[in-house]
Amino acid sequence: MAIQLGDIAPDFTADTTEGTVDFYDWLGDGWGVLFSHPADFTPVCTTELGMVAKLKDEFAKRNAKVIAVSVDPLESHQAWIGDINDTQHTNVNFPLIADPDRKVADLYGMIHPNASDTTTVRSVFLIGPDKKVKLMITYPAATGRNFNEILRVLDSLQLTANYSVATPVNWNQGDDVIIVPAVSDEAAKAKFPKGWKAERPYLRVTPQPNL
């Protein structure tokens, strides 16, 4: 059955460009970003993996590790990394899973036969410290992802996991947030000492509580 939000992320062992990875051990107690790309030596994927390398510190600040996967073999990944580094002016600093037998791709439902029988789509899974799937997004092969959006979602997930808030449209770190409807006005007085503006009884806007 397809993975859904809140499911436990499947564990696996795989060969990667940084050695054998036991996924759960590799994740440790932090957050994980597992993302697939269609194929090595393709232009959009080259730009995506270069950008992820450049953003590694931003993921680390959020206690998140990134790992890529495609159905290409290890030797192909290793050769392609040289091109990514040269053309994107970076150093790939995270593991690429070699998945020629599609073990990981099938576990995570990354091959969508009506898009391609043979390659993974552009999937992203954000996995929490509890090993549960917190976000899934899927892009087609011809559309590169915006990894700043993945960082933005990580910020939202980490904030909303710790406070009784939700983040509104186009929210970014530092913007006002919304008090979740399950919190009564009475309870909100204690939880949100900075106060809030009620546009409607269900739409209460408050400054980000952890700043």
Which lies closer to ligand BEZ via its Cβ, residue 72 or residue 155?
Answer: 72
Asked if 50 interacts with ligand BEZ (CB under 6 A), we say no
Q: Tell me if 110 sits within 8 A of 69, measured CB to CB.
A: yes
Our answer to whether residue 68 is catalytic in this structure is: no
**What is the 3-class SS of 105-117, one letter each residue?**
HHHCCCCCCCCCC
Least separation in angstroms between CB 49 and ligand BEZ = 10
> What is the bridge-based pairing of β-strands 96-98 and 122-127?
unpaired
43 binds ligand BEZ (CB under 6 A): yes
Of 3, 12, 15, 39, the residue at the interface with ligand BEZ (CB under 6 A) is 39
Using the minimum distance from each CB to ligand BEZ, give the nearer residue, 40 or 155: 40
42 binds ligand BEZ (CB under 6 A): yes
Rounded CA separation 26/156 (Å): 23
- Residues whose CB is less than 8 angstroms from the CB of residue 136 and which lie 6 or more positions away in sequence, other chains included: 3, 4, 5, 123, 124, 125, 126
Applying CB under 6 A, among 38, 50, 95, 128 the residue interacting with ligand BEZ is 38
* 141 counts as binding ligand BEZ under rule CB under 6 A: yes
Give the nearest distance from C-beta 143 to ligand BEZ in angstroms: 9
Among the listed residues 14, 27, 34, 45, the single catalytic one is 45
Alpha helix ranges (H) inside 119-162: 147-162
- Cα 175–Cα 181–Cα 185 angle in degrees, nearest 5: 90
Nearest approach, Cβ of residue 48 and ligand BEZ (Å): 7
Q: Does 81 sit near ligand BEZ (CB under 6 A)?
A: no
Cα–Cα distance list, 196 to 179, 184, 186, 207 (Å): 8, 12, 12, 8
> Does the footprint of ligand BEZ cover residue 188 (CB under 6 A)?
no
Catalytic machinery residues: 45
